[in-house]
Structure 1
Amino acid sequence: MNRLKHAASPYLLQHQDNPVDWWEWSEQAFAEARASNRPVLLSVGYAACHWCHVMAHESFENPAIAAVMNELFVNIKVDREERPDIDHVYMSALHTLGEQGGWPLTMFLDSEGAPFWGGTYFPPTSRYGRPGFIDVLRQIAGIYRSDRERVGRNAQAIGDALQQSLQRIAEADEPDLSHLASQIARRFDRDHGGLGGAPKFPNPGLIELLWRHGSRAGNDASREAANRTLVQMARGGIHDHLGGGFARYAVDERWLVPHFEKMLYDNAQLLPLYALEAARTGDPLLLEAANGIVAWLKRDMLLPDGAFAASLDADSDGEEGKFYVWTLAELAAALGPEGAALFARHYDVTADGNWEGHVILNRLDTPDPTPEIADRLSALRTQLLAVRSRRVPPGRDDKILADWNGLMISGLARAAGLLGRDDWIKLAANAFRFVTESMTDDGGLAHSYRAGRLIAPGFALDHAAMAEAAIALHDATGEQHYFELARRWSNHLDRHYGEADSGLLRMTRADSAALPVIPRPTHDDAVPNANGLHAANLLRIAAQTGQPDDRALADQFLAVVLAAAAHAPMAHGSVLNAYDLARNGVEIVLAGPTRESFRRTALALPHLTTMLVDCPDPDGLPPQHPAHAYAKQAGNGATFVCLHGRCLPPVTEPNRLAEAVAGAG
């Protein structure tokens, strides 16, 4: 019996009509495995995953293969976005087997949940140099029946490797940020940006690290690596030039051919980076990319309750990328001969196409248009978008994830300040309101919401990302309730997710159901790690309160996370960026009843190390705050720029703030 029809996840519901006897992850499923003496087949994927759909069509919808699965295994289906803890543990187990990883994740477990073998995508019969799925099923089930000792040895070896990977460095030297940034810049592709090779992912945490180094040290190599990556992505096919937003990654080194799924978290992290570089350079291409992300968000991802959906599928009408690609004939029919000819010159449109006989719109090798031509191209893009909107759209995963929404809320609020878009702050505030009103759970947050159902308790990243969002909205608006929520969620993290022995945050609550190992990663994946975000949040909270105890707590936690990150600093962009904030953060104290004009100016500064301190009453500054001595000089409104325990004289004119911040550094 297939048990997925009552699932909340759109991904699981995609499989509710499979002939496979799917279970959701539950103790009942493992009890069935023990009672029937069968191993567990764990299949992990997500709704926007192209190869997940391929394996579903080839194998899970095939009655013959499903019959073998049902006879030999207890089959569990998991949405990795709904249960990132399960995905993390079993993907880590696959890595111990020497596999690169990816989705769909296919793992074989004993009846207690211990993994003993696995892989990713398997074709139904042997091809692509991979064994056929039905052969794998029979072989694994045969070994489980006849050689349980071998299964136990495999499971023990994987378990030992997982435990070993959790060992932490007790102490480590503080990182040399300039040296690390220079190393990373050298690994970035000089021609196309991004880390060299293919496939090519955005890696926003590393772009941010390079941007910080370029700004702080005036390092041309880091600044150029960050800029080139953002520019080439905006020119490439990974960027949706009609509808806005970016796909998850490119399969080539030039950013031409995307893997067409669009994820909320990628665009959440790219939005403030594009706004930042657009504010610094004035480049219209980068401004177009930032505006396009928000246009896509409002058109395709905004749900009626104000929050944001999780993703858009790579496939539509059964084909990957069909919604996004064109032929020259289609463009001519939509734009007419003259319009099509102009558009073709600027978006790499040819009769032969640039991908499987079709055209992926891009500007990688085309000239920058004049302002007049740019206006004409904008009108043509609008026409094409209207035509495209009549196609069968990609499927949308409409579950609401607290962590991904938190990342987007923060991105919107930061980008709004940089580009002067107050309407984006309203968009962010509406999403924030939904999460806080509809996704609270036992003093904290739930992880996922769909159709009135919550997946709870939430994970560490839910609280860290929403605390970051609250701080960003507090900076943008000065409304105190946002700051109070940031403190509450940060305290909740320390109380329910902190580990006394390691000092780090675990992924799950301390009272969560057991997995083969306790997931406590510190490295970034496609999303920043909760430990890195929490470290930065604690620093910003300490800046706002001005309390030495808060800063001591932030420094203590950051030291622990830095030690954990020492073995692989490039995988810990969020941690290194928090460290940069600790070492080089500039406090901008907004004081007095007429401070709002200073707020707008401060938010528009293209900096990543500024921390806004909102102070309606200058006398309210703690006595130990370095700006306290200047408080009486604030009058109706002033700004104090402080660094490393010292403050410059008050700035009483907003147009002098940028100069003061530059002088403080």
Structure 2
Amino acid sequence: MAIFTGMCVLSCHADRKSLGQSGNHLGNASSPYLLEHADNPVGWYEWGDEALKKAKEENKPLIISIGYAACHWCHVMEEESFMDTAVANYMNAHFVSIKIDREERPDLDEIYMNAAQLINGNGGWPLNAFALPDGKPFYAGTYFSKDQWLKLLQNIHKAYEQDNATLTKQSEDLTQEIRKIQTAAADADTSAEGNGTLYELVYKGLLDQVDFADGGFKGAPKFPTPVRWEFLMQYAYLTKDKKALSATTTLLDKMARGGIYDQLGGGFARYATDDQWRVPHFEKMLYDNAQLVSLYAHAYQLTGNENYRRIIKETLSFVKRELTSAEGGFYSSINADSEGKEGKFYVWQYDEMARLLDAPELAALEKTFAISKKGNWEKGENILYLDQSAGLSDLSEPLVAKARGKLFAARAKRVHPSLDDKILVSWNALMLKGYVDAYRALGDPAYLQAAEENARFLEKYMLGRNFRLQRSFRRQKVSIDAFLEDYAFLADATLHLYQSNFNKHWFDVSEGLIEYADTYLFDAESNFYTTHTAKKENILINSIGVNDGVVPSANGIMSLTQYRLGKILYDEKYVTNARKMLDRIKFSLATDASSYTSWALLLGLEHYGTYEVAILGKNALGQNLLLQKYYLPNAVFAGGENENLPLLDDKKVAGQTRIYVCKDKVCKLPTDEVDQALKMVTF
């Protein structure tokens, strides 16, 4: 790869600008990110037959540029290069250029990100790949300055014209390596320790990485990665291990104190750039906040910590205020930038705070937050995070609460960061589940109502005949065939919704989504599910993804959901398939615990057993809520007033509400007392 210039590896967060029209082909795109580029002089295409056909007919290489609406360095590169007429003219003359929103097309992002990581050892966004007309990549990088980009374009054009055979060979070799990475699960080594020993290995593997001083995993930047902490909390509950619980609560406490949490408006930024959760990259993503609501809800159930209750309520207030559509869908993200500057909406000059607050309020704020006249961030600016001497309970002090309210009101008058208002099924499903978990923990019926409204929205707009899903919705239009994560996350969310409201319709939706995935996405050779259907057009690789990222593995969630469905239905087909999937991943669990913790959750259910709880009678919903206000990660629930599922058969008694606690289809004597049932279902 010596013919190419060097690259900068930078993470991303972009400013959105006013949408425009130009001669390129993005004017009718469904993605706000693509629409941002609609006025570029670059002749951008969306991914599809038209662009690939043009490249083949004109024998031009592809530029495949991938980003997302909240990506700062995507915006920088657009302003420097893609809005430059000279650069655009060169691109238009010698390449066919394609723009992709990574959030709409995670399948394509995975392919070209793997190319960048294989070539450079790392990656990021913007992601800029070069490929043959058939889409096979031969080079990829991230951000390039204008001079770097123009030189790279010239070098690649020259190489394509003069040494095409070498580029073709590179693309074949690179594509083959990517294919190995993305289908490696099919060749997984199934040998591993027994379930109990493996469960301990996963725990110890994670514990070695925990930062007990500052929370999370050691080093910087720090990402929340909630599924890892869900495992540690499950482990703490099932084994009574205090260190596992301490690891989790330390993370939750430190994040709640830090700048990664919006101390005025609620909600979490995507990650912290430092090792103490103080300095965020300021964009807020739906998927992070969804998973963190669930995590704090579970921690509240387990510990009763009132600070966690506050975080849940504030975060859901943020979601309702800023990320919820009129129809009940949830928007994707809020930009880090406003007025061309990262974090401008969220940071404060000391003098500005002094003008807004009276002396006692300012003094209380200074005592609580690590603010000062010289600032705690760039250019004398202050990020609101707690001072080392302050406690989370100090935020509830009257003067501090009043000061926070005044600052929030003043901030609301600023120019707001832009909103990515597309609605994605998989991310909505995570938020739906977050609302369900919050309802169980706090008992607020408004949270269950929000979950139900979102489920109805997704069913109305995104769910077609035979449970086929569309992935994206924006301004009354749906687009893009759904991916495995959409089916897996929504099946999981609707099953959790059923277990909270006992509306069997949502159980049926969950099972229908699983059956669709079994029919169209299941790969019998590997015993896993592929990312998309085999009929997906113009895709080099149909990935079999098994490892967790910022969201859990779709295959991992599919296995958990099937396992729980099988326990409620008394259907060994689902349970057996979940076990087969788990068996294929055990070697990976033993060798790389932090990448497979969604699977470790199933491992815990298998090793310690799962309780099947049936609640039947007029007061079934009330009893269910009283029981599920506790953290019960190894229990499934079914109930209502009708015996409409196998777990409920022969359990109804006229005029009574009874709770049955069963395990492996064997039930203990029923009770009408929640406390008695709780003793049967807890460790």
Which band: TM-score by shorter chain? over 0.9
Which of 452, 469, 487 in structure 1 is aligned with 2:493?
Answer: 469
> How many angstroms does 1:628 deviate by?
7.2
Aligned to 1:367: 390
Which of 649, 657, 660 in structure 1 is aligned with 2:677?
Answer: 657
Q: Distance in 1 between matches of 2:143 and 2:634?
A: 43
Q: Distance in 2 between matches of 1:401 and 1:650?
A: 42
* Range that drifts further, 167-176 or 532-541: 167-176
Aligned to 1:314: 336
Any idea what SS the aligned residue of 1:508 has? coil
Contact 1:58 1:124 in 2 (8 A): yes
Residue 42 of structure 2 corresponds to residue 20 of structure 1: yes
Which of 40, 49, 60 in structure 1 is aligned with 2:62?
Answer: 40
Any idea what SS the aligned residue of 1:365 has? coil
Q: Distance in 2 between matches of 1:368 and 1:339?
A: 17
One-letter amino acid of the counterpart of residue 672, structure 2:
T
Distance 1:144 1:366, change over 3 A: farther
Aligned to 2:156: 140
Aligned to 2:516: 492
Aligned to 2:443: 420
Aligned to 2:533: 509
Aligned to 2:625: 600
Structure 2 counterparts to residues 36-185 of structure 1, below 5 A: 36-125=58-147, 132-165=148-181, 166-167=183-184, 168-173=187-192, 174=194, 176-185=198-207
Which of 579, 584, 588 in structure 1 is aligned with 2:613?
Answer: 588
Structure 2 counterparts to residues 419-568 of structure 1, below 5 A: 419-443=442-466, 444-562=468-586, 568=592
Aligned to 2:415: 392
Q: Distance in 1 between matches of 2:498 and 2:140?
A: 46
One-letter amino acid of the counterpart of residue 418, structure 2:
G
Any idea what SS the aligned residue of 1:481 has? helix
Aligned to 1:128: none
One-letter amino acid of the counterpart of residue 160, structure 1:
Q
* Range that drifts further, 520-529 or 394-403: 520-529
* Range that drifts further, 263-272 or 374-383: 374-383
Q: Which has the higher contact order (CA 8 A, sep 6+)?
A: 2
Q: Distance in 2 between matches of 1:27 and 1:373?
A: 57
Distance 1:373 1:428, change over 3 A: closer
Any idea what SS the aligned residue of 1:485 has? helix
Contact 1:633 1:650 in 2 (8 A): no
Contact 1:82 1:455 in 2 (8 A): no
> How many angstroms does 1:428 deviate by?
1.1
Contact 1:42 1:109 in 2 (8 A): yes
Distance 1:542 1:615, change over 3 A: farther
Which of 320, 327, 330 in structure 2 is aligned with 1:305?
Answer: 327
> How many angstroms does 1:170 deviate by?
5.0
Distance 1:98 1:187, change over 3 A: same
Q: Distance in 2 between matches of 1:235 and 1:18?
A: 42
* Range that drifts further, 248-257 or 135-144: 135-144
Distance 1:107 1:621, change over 3 A: closer
Contact 1:543 1:613 in 2 (8 A): no
Residue 266 of structure 2 corresponds to residue 244 of structure 1: yes
**CA deviation string 1:381-403 (max 9, x = no partner):** 22211110100101100011011
Distance 1:226 1:24, change over 3 A: same
Distance 1:26 1:369, change over 3 A: closer
**CA deviation string 1:306-352 (max 9, x = no partner):** 11100000101110000000011111112222211211211111011
> How many angstroms does 1:38 deviate by?
1.6
Q: TM-score, normalised by structure 2?
A: 0.92
Aligned to 1:636: 656
Aligned to 1:613: 638
> How many angstroms does 1:419 deviate by?
1.1
Contact 1:470 1:485 in 2 (8 A): yes
Distance 1:114 1:590, change over 3 A: same
Aligned to 2:223: 201
Distance 1:192 1:154, change over 3 A: same
> How many angstroms does 1:563 deviate by?
5.8
> How many angstroms does 1:143 deviate by?
1.0
> How many angstroms does 1:68 deviate by?
2.1
The percent of aligned pairs where both chains have the same amino acid is 33
Structure 1 segments (4+ residues) deviating >6 Å: 632-635
> How many angstroms does 1:645 deviate by?
4.8
Contact 1:446 1:455 in 2 (8 A): yes
Distance 1:515 1:628, change over 3 A: closer
* Range that drifts further, 391-400 or 339-348: 339-348
Distance 1:657 1:201, change over 3 A: same
**CA deviation string 1:185-243 (max 9, x = no partner):** 22111211111111110011111111111111111221111111111111110000111
> How many angstroms does 1:652 deviate by?
1.9
Distance 1:634 1:659, change over 3 A: farther
Q: Distance in 2 between matches of 1:522 and 1:203?
A: 16
Contact 2:347 2:383 in 1 (8 A): yes
> How many angstroms does 1:510 deviate by?
2.0
Contact 1:542 1:554 in 2 (8 A): no
Q: Distance in 2 between matches of 1:372 and 1:577?
A: 34
One-letter amino acid of the counterpart of residue 148, structure 1:
N
Any idea what SS the aligned residue of 2:473 has? strand
Q: CA RMSD in A?
A: 2.0
Q: Distance in 1 between matches of 2:529 and 2:593?
A: 18
Structure 1 runs not aligned, ≥5 long: 126-131
Q: Distance in 1 between matches of 2:592 and 2:167?
A: 32
**CA deviation string 1:63-93 (max 9, x = no partner):** 2222222222111000011111111111122
Aligned residues: 652
Distance 1:247 1:190, change over 3 A: same
Distance 1:373 1:308, change over 3 A: closer
Any idea what SS the aligned residue of 1:438 has? helix
**CA deviation string 1:640-663 (max 9, x = no partner):** 22334543332321233332222x
Contact 2:231 2:600 in 1 (8 A): yes
Any idea what SS the aligned residue of 1:348 has? coil
Any idea what SS the aligned residue of 2:358 has? helix
* Range that drifts further, 545-554 or 490-499: 545-554
Q: Distance in 2 between matches of 1:562 and 1:507?
A: 21
Any idea what SS the aligned residue of 2:508 has? helix
One-letter amino acid of the counterpart of residue 637, structure 1:
T
* Range that drifts further, 444-453 or 159-168: 159-168
Aligned to 1:406: 429
One-letter amino acid of the counterpart of residue 568, structure 1:
D
> How many angstroms does 1:549 deviate by?
3.7
Any idea what SS the aligned residue of 1:275 has? helix
Contact 1:23 1:75 in 2 (8 A): yes
> How many angstroms does 1:499 deviate by?
1.0
Distance 1:65 1:84, change over 3 A: same
Q: Distance in 1 between matches of 2:502 and 2:396?
A: 41
> How many angstroms does 1:635 deviate by?
6.7
**CA deviation string 1:617-646 (max 9, x = no partner):** 56x674xx6x979x4789711212233454
* Range that drifts further, 388-397 or 364-373: 364-373
Any idea what SS the aligned residue of 1:22 has? coil
Contact 2:563 2:578 in 1 (8 A): yes
Contact 1:310 1:398 in 2 (8 A): yes
* Range that drifts further, 277-286 or 434-443: 277-286
